[in-house]
Structure 1
Amino acid sequence: MTPITKTVTIGPWTGADSYADLAVEYEAASRGIGLHDRAYRGLLEITGKDRLAWLHNLTTNQVKSLQPGQGNYTFAVNIQGRILFDMNLLVLRDSVWLDIDRRWIDAAIAHFNKYIIMEDVKLADRTADFARFALTGARVAQFIARAGLAQSCAMPLHQVEHLSIDGAQLAIFRDDFCGPFGLQILVPMASAINLWQRWTATPDVTPIGFGAVDTLRIEHGIPWPMTEITPETLPAETGQFQRAVSTNKGCYLGQEIVERMRSRGAVARRLVLIHLPEGEPPPAGSELLSDGAIVGKTTSACVSQLHGGALAMGYVRSAVPDEAPVTVSAQGRCTSGSMVSAATATH
C-alpha cells in the first residue's frame, strides 16, 4: 500500500490522515481523482422476506418503494426522535446493505435486534468481508467509465452497480460523501491490495488521506458521525432533513417527534459554518458567542482551502440570525468570525 506521512485514528481503525501534501490531495479530491481508504466504515446485511417492510418501520426515509439497485441516506432514531446513527441504505436483489460508521456497528445490531419479533429478518455483520475504497473528484466519472462502468457520470445518488476488474467483483454505489462527485467501492479482501496498487499506479489517481476528506466535507456542510451526529441530535438540526427524511412514508419509530419538529419549525438549534479569517481551527466543544452570550459550540474544524483561514462547524441557537457576527472562544482566546454558506459541488 501507499506510504503514509501522517496517521489518524477513528475508532478501531488507524489509517492515513495524509500521504504527502494536504493541498495536493485536496486538489485531487475536488478537481481530479482522489482514491481514499474508508476502512472506518462498516457494513450490515439484512436478509429475509420481510426485510423491506421491517426496515421501512425503523428508518426515517423511504424503503418499501425502493427497487434493487436503488438506495438512499437515512437515519435510525429512537422513540424520542433523536438520531441513533445515520447510514446509506442500499437495496440489492436478495438483501439490503446498510453502510454505517464502523464505531456504530455494534449499537446498530443491538438496536435492530430489539425489533425482530416474528418477522423473517436476519442480520449479518459483513464489515470484515470487504475493503472499503472511495473515489472522489470531478474526473472520477470518466476514470471509472474507462474501467468498464460506462454510465457512471449519470448514476443517481445511492445507485448500486457491479463491475468486474481482473476477476474481482466490485460493488459500487454513488455517494458524494465529502461534497464532490464520489463513488464508494466494496472490494473483496483478497483483491484489495492489487486493486489499490493498480489504481495508484495510474498517473491520474492520487491517494488521499482523511485530512483532505474532512476539509472538503466541512466546507460542504456535511455532518459526520460522532461529531455533528450524536445521540443528542435531532434530524431537523442537521441540515440533512430533505435528503434523510420522508414526510409521506407513514409511521416509523420516532416519527411523531420528527414530524412535529418539522411541521412546527420547533428546532432550538441549527448546524452552521463559521469562517475565522485570522484564527486557527478551534477544538471541538469551543464556545460560540453572539452579542456576548453563549449561543452554541463547535463540533469540528479545519484549515479551509476554499475560504482561507479556519472554518468551524457547530450548532447555534436558531434565533441567531445568519448575518450575526460570531466569536469563538477557545483555549483562553476569542476569535471573531462570521457564518458562511456551505460550498456547492459542481459535477
Structure 2
Amino acid sequence: MLPHTPSPLLSLPGAVAAEGPDEGVAAHYGDPFREQRALAGGSGFVDLSHRGVIAVTGPDRLSWLHLLLTQHVSELPPGRATEALILSPHGHIEHALYLVDDGETTWAHVEPGTREALIAYLESMKFFYKVDVTDRTGDIAVTYLPAGSIAEVPEGVVVRETAYGRDLFLPRAQLAEFAAAHGPAAGVLAHEALRVEGHRPRLGLETDHRTIPHELGLIGVAVHLQKGCYRGQETVARVHNLGKPPRRLVFLHLDGSEVSLPAHGAPVRLAADGPEGRQLGFVTTAARHHELGPIALALVKRNVPVDAPLLVGEATAAAQETVVEP
C-alpha cells in the first residue's frame, strides 16, 4: 500500500477525509464531539490504517532491537506493549516505535511517512544478526479500540494493549468487515483530542529536528535508563544527570472565544509581554475537546514560569499545566 492511499472506510456515511500527517483516513464521520464521547466511554474504534507497520522476525530479533532502541526489549515477554525511540548520534529523536512481540514476530507501528527511512536504517544495522525486517503496511492496518471497549478481537489478530486502549494489527482485507461489526467509527480528530488530553506526544508534531526525549517526558516511558549502549545514549545520560533539558512540554487550556484553533508552530509568549513579546515556544498540537474546550500541547523554554499566563499567536490567552517539570 502506497503512502496516503485512502482507507476504504472513507466510504462510510459522513466521512470527511483528514489532511496533513493523517491524510488517507477520516478526520471525522460527521460529529467529532459525539465520536470523542464514544471513545471516552469505551465504545467505537478509530481507523489508523495510514500508519506504517513493520515486522521483525528471526531468533535474534529482540536482542538485536535491544542494541538499537532506547527501550529495554531483550527480554520483552509476548503480548507486553512497549514503546521505544531511535535517536540521532546527538540524542535527537528520529523515530518512534509502538511495539509488541507475539512470541515469533516483533510488530511495530510508526508514523505515516517514516517507515521507509526506518527500514533503511534497520537494514543497515543487521550485520551478522539472524533477523528479517519486513514492511507489512500493505497487508496490515492499525486499528484502535479505546480503553474499556468490550469489542471482540478477530482470531489471530495481534493486539498491543496499553492503559489507553488496544492497537490491533488487523489484516487490511478485514478492515471493512471489522468496521461493520464494531462501529460506530470515530475519526482521527477525536483520537487526537484524547491524545492531547492525555499529554501524549507524537513524532513530527511534538518533535522537531532538535527534540530530545527529556523535553517530552519520555524518560521511563520510551527510554530505559538502565540498559546498555545505544546511539544517542551519551546525550540522554548527560541531560538526565544535569536535569536541564532546554525545553519542556506543557498542556494549554486555550481561550474558547477564538473561532479557529492555533496552527502547529504558532508562537507562544508570556501574556504580560503581549503579541510583540519574545517568543518562548510554539504550539505543537491543538484540538477541541468535548469537555475541556480548546486545548493544546506546546514546547516552551525550560525557564518559563510554570504559573505564568501565556499568549498563543496574536490574541489567544492560554493557561498552562505542567507536563514536564522545569
Matches within 5 A, 1:197-216: 197-200=180-183, 206-216=184-194
Whether the aligned pair in 2 keeps the contact of 1:12 and 1:103 (CA below 8 Å) is no
Mapped pair 1:324 → 2:304: no
Mapped pair 1:186 → 2:169: yes
1:282 counterpart (262, 267, 273): 262
User: Compared with structure 1, are the counterparts of its residues 270 and 218 closer, same or farther at alpha carbon in structure 2 (3 Å cutoff)?
Assistant: same
Mapped pair 1:298 → 2:283: yes
Provide the residue aligned with 1:19 in structure 2: 29
CA distance in 2, matches of 1:207, 1:339: 32
Matches within 5 A, 1:166-245: 169-176=156-163, 181-200=164-183, 206-245=184-223
Provide the residue aligned with 1:266 in structure 2: 244
Provide the residue aligned with 1:66 in structure 2: 76
Provide the residue aligned with 1:335 in structure 2: 316
1:312 counterpart (296, 304, 325): 296
- Structure 2 gaps of 5+ residues are 1-8
1:103 counterpart (92, 103, 113): 113
Residue deviations 1:183-231 (CA, integer Å, cap 9, x gap): 111222332222221222xxxxx21001111111111111122111343
Q: CA deviation at 1:39?
A: 0.9
1:245 partner SS: coil
Q: CA deviation at 1:92?
A: 2.3
Residue deviations 1:311-342 (CA, integer Å, cap 9, x gap): 2211101111210111112xxx3222210257
Whether the aligned pair in 1 keeps the contact of 2:91 and 2:233 (CA below 8 Å) is yes
Q: CA deviation at 1:11?
A: 4.6
Whether the aligned pair in 2 keeps the contact of 1:84 and 1:230 (CA below 8 Å) is no
2:24 partner SS: strand
CA distance in 1, matches of 2:21, 2:39: 24
Q: CA deviation at 1:48?
A: 2.3
CA distance in 1, matches of 2:124, 2:209: 18
CA distance in 1, matches of 2:128, 2:216: 34
Q: CA deviation at 1:251?
A: 1.1
User: Compared with structure 1, are the counterparts of its residues 108 and 319 closer, same or farther at alpha carbon in structure 2 (3 Å cutoff)?
Assistant: same
CA distance in 2, matches of 1:321, 1:41: 37
Q: CA deviation at 1:46?
A: 1.2
- Structure 1 gaps of 5+ residues are 150-162, 201-205, 343-347
Provide the residue aligned with 1:154 in structure 2: none
CA distance in 1, matches of 2:98, 2:42: 25
Residue deviations 1:275-313 (CA, integer Å, cap 9, x gap): 1223342111111112423211111111232322x2221
> Please, what TM-score do these two structures have when normalized by structure 2?
0.88
> Please, what TM-score do these two structures have when normalized by structure 1?
0.83
1:244 partner SS: coil
User: Compared with structure 1, are the counterparts of its residues 195 and 251 closer, same or farther at alpha carbon in structure 2 (3 Å cutoff)?
Assistant: same
Mapped pair 1:39 → 2:26: no
**Percent of matched pairs sharing the same residue:** 28
CA distance in 1, matches of 2:31, 2:322: 27
CA distance in 2, matches of 1:84, 1:299: 17
Whether the aligned pair in 2 keeps the contact of 1:219 and 1:306 (CA below 8 Å) is no
2:78 partner SS: coil
The number of equivalent residue pairs is 306
Mapped pair 1:30 → 2:40: yes
Provide the residue aligned with 1:345 in structure 2: none
* CA RMSD across the alignment: 1.9
